[in-house]
Structure 1
C-alpha cells in the first residue's frame, strides 16, 4: 500500500508541475512576451480555452484506452510512463513557440499527453485502494496537487531564461513519471481471446469510442449529481489561472515582479491545502462521512473568491488565497473518494473516472470563455463573485448524493450499476 500511495502521489505531483506551473505562470508570461501586456489576457484565454477543450476530449479517450490496454507493463503503468515522457517533450517544444497559434498547438499536445497519465493514475484509486482508505489517499493526492505548482514555481524561479524555465519543469515532470512507474505494481491485464500478447488497446469501434464521453445521468443519477458538483466547484477555483493577470491589472505588478509574488500567492494556500486535505481525508475515513466535507469545502471556496474579488490590497488578496486553500483542500481530499463510490461499472473504471475528469477540464475552457464578458461587465470583481456563485450551487448539489451507508435510501439519488457489456450506459 505504501508503494502504491507513493507512486500515485508522485504521478499526480509531476502532472500538476507540468500543467499548473504553465497555467498559473509561464503561459501568461509567454503571452505577454508575444502579445504585450494589453493583449496577453485575450491570448491567454484562447490558449487556455483550446487546451481545456482538448482535455475534455482526451481525458475519456485516455481512460477508455487505459482500460483496454494489455501491455506487459500494465494497463496503468504503461500510460503513466508514456504520457509523462511525451508530455515533457511537448513542454520543451512549447518553449520555442513565437506565435499564438504555435502556443495553442503545443499546449493542446501537452494536455493530450498528460491526460493519459492522469487517467491511469486516478483509475488506481478504484483499482487498488481499499474503500476504507480512499479518503486518506485522496487527501494525499489533493496535497500533491497543491505541492506540484509550488515545486514548479520554485525551480522556475531559479532561472531567468524563459526556455530554461520550460525545460526544468519538463525534466521534473518526466522524472516524477519514471519514479512512479518504477514504484507501482501493475500486473498485466488478462487478455480476452483474440488479443495478441503485448497489444496496447483492444479494438474499439466508433460507437464504443463515442460512449467514452457519456454516462446516462437518468440511469445513473448519483453519478450525474457528483459530476455537477465537481464541475461547478472546479469553475470556482479555475479562477487561479487568472491570478497573474489579476495581480498585474489590479495592483500594477510588473511582469518582472510577478513571478516572485505568484510564488508567495501559491505557497500560502499550499501550506493550508496540505494540512486540510490530509486531515479531512483521515477524519472522513474515520467517520465514514463524505458529504459534509464536500459541502463545506465548496462554500469556503466561494467565500474566498469573494474576498479576492473585492480585495483592494495585495494583503487582502493573500488572505483570500489562504481561505481558498482551506476550501480546496477539504473539497479535493474527499471529492475523489465520493466519485469512486458512485462509479457505475468496475470494468470501465479508467473511462468513468475520466468522465469525472472532464468536470475538471471543462472549466478550463468554460471559465476563459465567459471571462472576457465578466471582465467587461465588472472587471475582476464580477469575475470572482460570479465564480463564487458557481461554487455555492455546486456545493449544495452534493446534498442530492447519498452518504456512505445510505446508498439505498430513496430520499437521495440512486447509485446504480451499469448493465452487462453491450448495454446502454
Structure 2
C-alpha cells in the first residue's frame, strides 16, 4: 500500500452523513431521558416520581452498558455494522412509539430496559463504523463534527416541547422521525471509501514500527481521563441549576437553559478548529490534555465565583472546554485501540465511562455538598480534571 493512499482521506460526504447520524443517536436518547420518561413517571408515580426516575435511570444505565458491549462484539464477529444499525433503529423506534401503552411503573422499568437494549444495538455498531471508515489523519476533523451531536440533542428537546404543538404520543413520533431522518442517509447513501489498514486484523497487519499511541498504557490513560471528565460533566449537568442559585437566586431555569445552549453551540467551532489542528500537526492527544487543564481552571473559577457574571463566565470556560474534550476524545479513542477486529467490543468498554459517572456522582455530591458546600465539590472536580490532563500530557507529546 503506498504512502499516498495511506494519507488519503475519507469522502466529505461520508464524514458529514456520519456526523448527522451521530447527532441522530443523541436525539434518540436526550429528549426521552430528560423530558419524556420523567414526565410519564410523574403521571404514574405522583409524589414518589423522583425515586422511580432514579430506579429507571439506574436499571437503564446498567443494561445499556452491557448491551453496548454485546452488540459491539457481535458487530465485530459479523463484520457488518450496517445491519446492526438498521435493526437497532427499527426496534428502538418501534419500542419508543409504544411507550403510551405503558400504564404501570413496573412495566415502565421493563420498557426502559428493552428500549435501552434496542438503542444500543444501533449506537454501538454506529460508533465502531467510524473506526472502520475514517483514517487517523482525519480523526480530529471527525471529532469536531461530532460536537454537533449534543447541540442537536438539546435542540430536539426544545422542538418537542414547543407549547401546544405536540401531546405525549406526538412527542414520541417526533423523536422517532427525527432519529430516522438523521440516521437513514448514512445507511442509504454513505458508501465510505475502504481503508484496508483500518479493518485488517492486528495479527495480519504489515510490519511497521510500533505506534506508541496504541499501547495498553495509553488505552488505560484514555479510559481513565474520560471517566474523570465525565464525572465532572455529570455532576454539573445534574446540579448546575442549584449551583447557579447558590451564587444568585435570580438565576432561574430559563437562564440556565440559555447558558447551556450557548456553551454547547460555542464548543462546535472550537472543536472543529482543534480537531483540524490535531490532524495537521499529528498531535491527536495534545488538545485533549489542554482541554482537561482548561476545564480544571473553569472549575476553580466556579469555586470562587461570587457574582452572576463570574458564575456564568467560569461555567462557560468549563463547559466549552469539557465539551470539546469529549467530542475529540470520542474520535481519538478510535485511533488508540490496538485491535481493529475487536473495535466494537472495546468501544463498549469505553462506553462505561459514559454510564459509570451516573453511579459515582451522587455519592460524591452527597458526601461533600451538605457538609462543605458547592466550593468543595468544585475543588474536588477540578482535581479530577487536573489528573485527566496529566494522564494525557505525556501521551500527547508522542508522534
Structure 1 residue aligned with 2:349:
355
The structure-2 alpha-carbon separation of the partners of 1:352 and 1:269, relative to structure 1 and needing over 3 Å to count, comes to: same
Which of 74, 82, 101 is 1:77 aligned to? 82
In structure 2, what is the Cα distance between the partners aligned to 1:163 and 1:312? Answer: 44
Which of 102, 107, 110 is 2:112 aligned to? 107
Once the two structures are TM-superposed, the CA of residue 248 in structure 1 deviates from its matched residue by 10
Residue pair 2:278, 2:286 contacting (<8 A) in 1 also: no
1:19 matches 2:51: no
Structure 1 residue aligned with 2:12:
2
Which of 272, 283, 290 is 1:289 aligned to? 283
Once the two structures are TM-superposed, the CA of residue 336 in structure 1 deviates from its matched residue by 2.8
Residue pair 1:14, 1:172 contacting (<8 A) in 2 also: yes
List runs of 5+ in structure 2 lacking aligned partners. 1-10, 195-214
In structure 2, what is the Cα distance between the partners aligned to 1:328 and 1:293? Answer: 11
Which of 205, 221, 228 is 1:225 aligned to? 221
In structure 2, what is the Cα distance between the partners aligned to 1:241 and 1:98? Answer: 30
Residue pair 1:64, 1:350 contacting (<8 A) in 2 also: yes
Q: What SS class does the counterpart of residue 401 from structure 1 fall into?
A: helix
In structure 1, what is the Cα distance between the partners aligned to 2:313 and 2:161? Answer: 23
Once the two structures are TM-superposed, the CA of residue 63 in structure 1 deviates from its matched residue by 0.7
Q: Deviations over 1:174-210 (max 9, x none)?
A: 322222311222799xxxxxxxxxxxxxxxxxxxxxx
Once the two structures are TM-superposed, the CA of residue 163 in structure 1 deviates from its matched residue by 3.9
Structure 2 residue aligned with 1:184:
190
Structure 2 residue aligned with 1:130:
135
Once the two structures are TM-superposed, the CA of residue 318 in structure 1 deviates from its matched residue by 4.1
Runs of 4+ in 1 over 6 A off after TM superposition: 251-254, 309-314
Structure with the bigger percentage of helix: 2
In structure 2, what is the Cα distance between the partners aligned to 1:393 and 1:320? Answer: 20
Q: How does 1:289-308 map to 2 (within 5 A)?
A: 289-305=283-299
Structure 2 residue aligned with 1:199:
none
Q: Deviations over 1:225-244 (max 9, x none)?
A: 21111111111112354158
Structure 1 residue aligned with 2:178:
172
Of 379-388 and 56-65, more deviation after overlay is shown by 379-388
Residue pair 1:24, 1:242 contacting (<8 A) in 2 also: no
In structure 1, what is the Cα distance between the partners aligned to 2:369 and 2:49? Answer: 14
Residue pair 1:284, 1:334 contacting (<8 A) in 2 also: no
Residue pair 2:218, 2:395 contacting (<8 A) in 1 also: yes
In structure 1, what is the Cα distance between the partners aligned to 2:241 and 2:42? Answer: 10
Residue pair 2:289, 2:396 contacting (<8 A) in 1 also: no
Q: What SS class does the counterpart of residue 109 from structure 2 fall into?
A: helix
The structure-2 alpha-carbon separation of the partners of 1:392 and 1:332, relative to structure 1 and needing over 3 Å to count, comes to: same
Structure 1 residue aligned with 2:76:
67
Residue pair 2:286, 2:397 contacting (<8 A) in 1 also: no
Once the two structures are TM-superposed, the CA of residue 15 in structure 1 deviates from its matched residue by 0.9
Once the two structures are TM-superposed, the CA of residue 16 in structure 1 deviates from its matched residue by 0.7
The structure-2 alpha-carbon separation of the partners of 1:316 and 1:107, relative to structure 1 and needing over 3 Å to count, comes to: farther
1:120 matches 2:120: no
In structure 2, what is the Cα distance between the partners aligned to 1:318 and 1:27? Answer: 29
In structure 1, what is the Cα distance between the partners aligned to 2:371 and 2:50? Answer: 15
Which of 54, 67, 71 is 1:58 aligned to? 67
Once the two structures are TM-superposed, the CA of residue 147 in structure 1 deviates from its matched residue by 1.9
Q: Deviations over 1:129-148 (max 9, x none)?
A: 1211111111111x222222
In structure 2, what is the Cα distance between the partners aligned to 1:309 and 1:41? Answer: 28
Q: How many residues align?
A: 367
Q: How does 1:8-407 map to 2 (within 5 A)?
A: 8-35=18-45, 40-69=49-78, 75-94=80-99, 97=102, 100-141=105-146, 143-159=147-163, 161-185=167-191, 220-242=216-238, 246=242, 258=253, 260-261=254-255, 263-305=257-299, 318-368=312-362, 370-378=364-372, 383-401=377-395, 403-405=397-399
Of 312-321 and 115-124, more deviation after overlay is shown by 312-321
The structure-2 alpha-carbon separation of the partners of 1:308 and 1:135, relative to structure 1 and needing over 3 Å to count, comes to: same
What TM-score, normalized to structure 2? 0.78
In structure 2, what is the Cα distance between the partners aligned to 1:321 and 1:404? Answer: 31
Q: What SS class does the counterpart of residue 52 from structure 1 fall into?
A: helix
Q: What SS class does the counterpart of residue 290 from structure 1 fall into?
A: coil
Once the two structures are TM-superposed, the CA of residue 354 in structure 1 deviates from its matched residue by 2.1
